């Protein structure tokens, strides 16, 4: 690359900016971006001129300029917003490539401009129905929408239908990207995914490490047991494991565990690589973001081996040598996890890094499964959202905890304050009453913020973690606002990571007690019904074949007559009827952690919670205060 020449061209272009045509502007931006030359003065001048003349720039110029800004990682929001507004007005003139390039540009900069993306979706569907579009356009656009956490079912279905006849035209990266897009949006289009499998197997040797791991992750996420594809990918992963990055190995191990693939050769190779990384680990050389990424990878490895170990347990309940080996690997990984936590604590206490300021979570951390320590993904929206999104709120002042907690609570009943049950080293156990919300990066609202209670106990000088919203204030799990129970959290990073590891390897057992409608006639029930938690309009999870795998274990404690425990006659919701129904008290264990999993699954099997207004059918919803399950049994919990 001739840097002096490019510098001279940039200087000359800046001097002549006022006389350059719109095409000259966009071509110059495209050329410098293609060469990965981020000449900031030049791009500032191009941006200023382009904004003034944005209405004169055509589809190709708008798409190329957006692509240039995204490629050299320039987040020029004023110009990107101007491009969005201008593009919407002439989107009917865009080709599928220009649509895909524009969508890719906004998604790669994490700019969720809903009016633009909705318009791109409509325009793309029309072009596809007319027979237009290439396979790369399909995969790029699908990738863009999925990266921004947008589930546009009509658009993805259009891509699927149009792609099947053209599957052999996909490159291996396109096959990987579009399968990833469908998996992140939990779209189970079986004919399309079968076509991806058939096209991938003959070209498996062309797949690189990331493409192998991403495709394996996609099929595992969708719970698709494709034996020929699984065997091909496992064999190729073993051959190319030396070129796998940490995330590639993480995704591959997770996929094997999720699909119960007990390939001892592959898993042993991954274990050896992960343990070698710990041996060579220098925590001080990692940035906070790199430290979190590596820690989440180790937690994910731990989950994979612990989970797959459960499938290697002998039928009589005793451990096979493979199950013991898998648990041993998980314990070995804990050494690196705790080392990272200690180093981050040292940095926070010495003032070397202000972790509470945020910015420590990369995209990898945000999309990691919750069971592996992941955090919620919140894209940066531009323009009004189409649907109501989960609100992101700061903690309310801690002094509210001493003022009766009237503000923000819909119930007129007296609100009980949380209590601290235990504070082991680097950890805290809080008893959460009803009407309190375990808040964090995302929040549903409707309750007092538990973070404010903990922050009143632990000022920032004592624990930066409990004041960091990006890390969910140290809480490692949630409990719905209408529920009460114990909440675990970290007060140091070492404590936080240790708890996340314990959750991942199933060494923490959680039981829930609920009062439910109907008389469960079996003493034990397993519920395996997929849950779709993407319904942000109602914030209600539903059982759906297109959802993510979820398993709940129900155990029956007691049957109750409805009037037997009531000091006064309660009535069913609408209308009031004298008919009395039976209730049951259940003890519940969850094997997965989907949003509102217990509430969705108990409704699914016909035993919704008694006073759950969001999930209980209105005809049987009980109004008024319901006793807690342990109170009905006369237990002192």
List, for residues 541-591, the tens digit of each pLDDT value: 888 776 777 889 999 999 987 654 444 444 433 334 344 468 899 999 987
Burial of 344 (0-12, 13-18, 19+ CB in 10 A): buried
6-33 core/surface letters (b: 16 or more CB in 10 A; e: else): beebbeebbeebeebebebbbbbbbebb
CA distances from 322 to 222, 309, 333 (A): 27, 7, 17
Backbone angles phi, psi at 309, to 5 degrees: -65, -30
615: left (phi over 0), alpha (psi -120 to 50) or beta: alpha
Backbone angles phi, psi at 374, to 5 degrees: -70, 165
| Band of pLDDT at residue 392, cut at 50, 70 and 90 | very low
302 and 330 in a single domain? The answer is: yes
C-alpha 202/C-alpha 205 separation (Å) is 8
Is pLDDT above 60 for 128? yes
C-alpha 529/C-alpha 448 separation (Å) is 32
Q: Tell me the three-class secondary structure of 167-231, residue by residue.
A: HHHCCHHHHHHHHHHHHHCCCCCHHHHHHHHHHHHHHHHHCCHHHHHHHHHHHHHCCCCCHHHHH
Is pLDDT above 80 for 357? no
The answer to whether the beta carbons of residues 182 and 193 sit under 8 Å apart is: yes
Burial of 203 (0-12, 13-18, 19+ CB in 10 A): middle
**Neighbouring C-alpha atoms within 13 Å toward the C-beta of 206:** 12
Q: Which residue has the higher pLDDT, 594 or 184?
A: 184
DSSP 398-465: GGGGGTTS-TT----SPPPPPEEEE--TTEEEEEE-TTEE--SSSB--SSEEHHHHHHHHS-TTT-SG
What is the average pLDDT value for the chain, to the nearest integer?
81
The answer to whether the beta carbons of residues 377 and 392 sit under 8 Å apart is: no
Range of the domain at 500: 383-504
First to last CA, the chain: 72
Q: Is residue 295 part of a domain?
A: yes
Given this model, what pLDDT does residue 579 score? 43
Render pLDDT for 140-185 as a digit per residue (tens, 0 to 9).
Answer: 999 999 988 888 889 999 999 999 999 999 999 999 999 999 988 8
Of 108-117, 409-418, 570-579, where does mean pLDDT reach its minimum? 570-579
Given this model, what pLDDT does residue 312 score? 64
Residues facing 588 on adjacent strands:
512, 554
C-alpha 276/C-alpha 128 separation (Å) is 49
574 and 491 in a single domain? The answer is: no
Given this model, what pLDDT does residue 82 score? 94
Nearest 5 degrees, angle CA 308-CA 494-CA 360?
A: 90
**β-bridge pairing 524-528 and 551-561:** antiparallel
Neighbours of 398 (CB within 10 A): 16
Q: Is residue 389 part of a domain?
A: yes
User: Which among 356, 375, 394 is the end of a domain?
Assistant: 375
521 and 627 in a single domain? The answer is: yes
Given this model, what pLDDT does residue 67 score? 92
371 and 400 in a single domain? The answer is: no
Q: Which residue has the higher pLDDT, 232 or 618?
A: 232
Q: Is residue 486 part of a domain?
A: yes
Is pLDDT above 80 for 93? yes
Q: Is residue 10 part of a domain?
A: no
Of 339-348, 357-366, 411-420, where does mean pLDDT reach its minimum? 357-366
CATH of the domain at 532: 3.30.2350.10
Name the domain count of the chain: 3
**Neighbouring C-alpha atoms within 13 Å toward the C-beta of 540:** 13
Q: Which residue has the higher pLDDT, 411 or 75?
A: 75
Mean pLDDT of 243-254: 91
250 and 301 in a single domain? The answer is: yes
Given this model, what pLDDT does residue 131 score? 87
Given this model, what pLDDT does residue 73 score? 72
User: Which among 469, 504, 539 is the end of a domain?
Assistant: 504
C-alpha 251/C-alpha 233 separation (Å) is 12
Given this model, what pLDDT does residue 398 score? 34
365 and 480 in a single domain? The answer is: no
Mean pLDDT of 280-286: 85
Q: Is residue 618 part of a domain?
A: yes
Render pLDDT for 187-204 as a digit per residue (tens, 0 to 9).
Answer: 888 999 999 999 999 999
Q: Is residue 154 part of a domain?
A: no
283 and 401 in a single domain? The answer is: no
pLDDT cut 90: percent of the chain above it: 42
pTM value surpassing 0.85: no
426 and 331 in a single domain? The answer is: no
Helix ranges restricted to H, 542-624: 597-604
Is pLDDT above 50 for 410? no
Render pLDDT for 287-337 as a digit per residue (tens, 0 to 9).
Answer: 888 888 899 889 989 988 888 877 665 555 555 777 788 888 999 999 999
| Band of pLDDT at residue 363, cut at 50, 70 and 90 | very low
User: Which among 462, 478, 504 is the end of a domain?
Assistant: 504
Q: Which residue has the higher pLDDT, 518 or 633?
A: 518
Q: Is residue 608 part of a domain?
A: yes
Q: What is the DSSP letter of 519?
A: -
609 and 533 in a single domain? The answer is: yes
Radius of gyration from C-alpha coordinates of the chain? 27
Q: Which residue has the higher pLDDT, 90 or 613?
A: 90
Of 128-137, 257-266, 534-543, where does mean pLDDT reach its minimum? 534-543
362 and 263 in a single domain? The answer is: yes
DSSP 30-81: HHHHHTT---HHHHHHHHHHHHHTGGG--HHHHHHHHHHHHHTT---HHHHH
Q: Is residue 616 part of a domain?
A: yes
The answer to whether the beta carbons of residues 284 and 343 sit under 8 Å apart is: yes
The percent of the chain in helix, strand and coil, each rounded to the nearest 5, is 55, 10, 35
Mean pLDDT of 480-494: 92
C-alpha 410/C-alpha 407 separation (Å) is 8
The answer to whether the beta carbons of residues 306 and 504 sit under 8 Å apart is: yes
402 and 470 in a single domain? The answer is: yes
Render pLDDT for 436-484 as a digit per residue (tens, 0 to 9).
Answer: 999 988 776 778 999 999 999 999 989 999 999 888 999 998 888 888 8
371 and 416 in a single domain? The answer is: no
| Closest CA relative to residue 178, chosen from 152, 205, 160 | 160
């Amino acid at each position: 690359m001739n840097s002096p020449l490019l510098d001279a061209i940039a200087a000359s272009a800046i001097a002549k900016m006022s006389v350059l045509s719109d095409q000259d502007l966009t071509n110059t931006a495209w050329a410098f971006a293609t060469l990965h030359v981020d000449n900031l003065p030049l791009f500032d001048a191009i941006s200023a001129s382009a904004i003034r003349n944005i209405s004169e720039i055509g589809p190709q110029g708008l798409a190329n300029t957006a692509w240039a800004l995204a490629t050299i990682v320039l987040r020029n929001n004023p110009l990107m917003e101007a491009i969005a507004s201008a593009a919407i007005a002439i989107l009917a003139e865009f080709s599928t490539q220009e649509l895909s390039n524009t969508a890719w540009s906004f998604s790669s900069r994490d700019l969720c401009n809903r009016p633009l993306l909705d318009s791109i979706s409509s325009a793309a569907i029309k072009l596809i129905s007319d027979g237009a579009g290439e396979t790369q356009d399909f995969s790029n656009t699908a990738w863009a929408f999925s990266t921004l956490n947008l589930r546009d079912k009509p658009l993805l279905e259009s891509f699927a239908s149009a792609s099947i006849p053209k599957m052999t035209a996909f490159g291996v990266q396109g096959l990987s990207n579009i399968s990833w897009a469908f998996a992140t949006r939990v779209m189970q289009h079986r004919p399309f995914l079968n076509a991806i499998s058939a096209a991938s197997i003959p070209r498996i040797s062309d797949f690189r490490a990331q493409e192998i791991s991403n495709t394996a992750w996609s099929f595992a996420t969708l719970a698709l047991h494709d034996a020929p594809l699984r065997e091909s990918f496992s064999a190729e992963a073993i051959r190319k494991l030396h070129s796998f990055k940490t995330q590639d190995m993480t995704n591959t191990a997770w996929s094997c565990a999720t699909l119960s693939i007990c390939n001892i050769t592959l898993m042993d190779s991954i274990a050896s690589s992960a343990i070698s990384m710990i041996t060579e680990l220098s925590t001080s050389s990692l940035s906070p973001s790199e430290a979190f990424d590596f820690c989440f990878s180790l937690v994910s490895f731990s989950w994979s081996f612990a989970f797959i170990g459960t499938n290697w347990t002998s039928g009589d309940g005793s451990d096979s040598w493979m199950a013991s080996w898998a648990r041993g690997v998980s314990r070995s990984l804990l050494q690196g996890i705790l080392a990272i936590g200690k180093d981050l604590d040292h940095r926070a206490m010495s003032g070397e890094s202000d972790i509470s300021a945020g910015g420590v979570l990369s995209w990898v951390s945000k999309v990691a499964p919750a069971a592996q320590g992941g955090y919620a993904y919140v894209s940066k929206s531009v323009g009004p959202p189409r649907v109501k999104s989960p609100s992101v709120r700061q903690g309310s002042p801690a002094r509210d905890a001493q003022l009766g907690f009237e503000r923000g609570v819909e119930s007129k009943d007296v609100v009980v304050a949380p209590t601290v049950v235990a504070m082991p080293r680097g950890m805290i156990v809080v008893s959460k009453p009803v009407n309190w919300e375990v808040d964090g990066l995302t929040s549903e609202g409707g309750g007092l913020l538990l973070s404010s209670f903990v922050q009143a106990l632990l000022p920032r000088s004592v624990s930066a973690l409990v004041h960091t919203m990006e890390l969910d204030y140290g809480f490692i799990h949630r409990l719905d606002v209408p529920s009460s129970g114990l909440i675990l959290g970290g007060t140091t990073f070492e404590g936080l990571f240790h708890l996340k590891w314990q959750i991942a390897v199933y060494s923490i057992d959680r039981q829930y007690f609920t009062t439910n409608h109907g008389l469960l006639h079996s003493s034990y029930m397993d519920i395996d019904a997929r849950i779709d938690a993407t319904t942000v309009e109602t914030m209600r999870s539903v059982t759906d074949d297109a959802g993510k795998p979820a398993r709940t274990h129900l155990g029956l404690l007691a049957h109750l007559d409805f009037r037997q425990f009531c000091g006064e006659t309660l009535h069913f919701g609408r209308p009031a009827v004298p008919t009395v129904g039976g209730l049951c008290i259940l003890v519940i264990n969850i094997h997965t952690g989907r949003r509102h999993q217990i509430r969705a699954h108990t409704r699914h099997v016909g035993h919704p919670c008694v006073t759950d207004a969001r999930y209980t059918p209105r005809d049987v919803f009980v109004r008024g205060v319901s006793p807690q399950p342990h109170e009905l049994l006369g237990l002192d919990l």
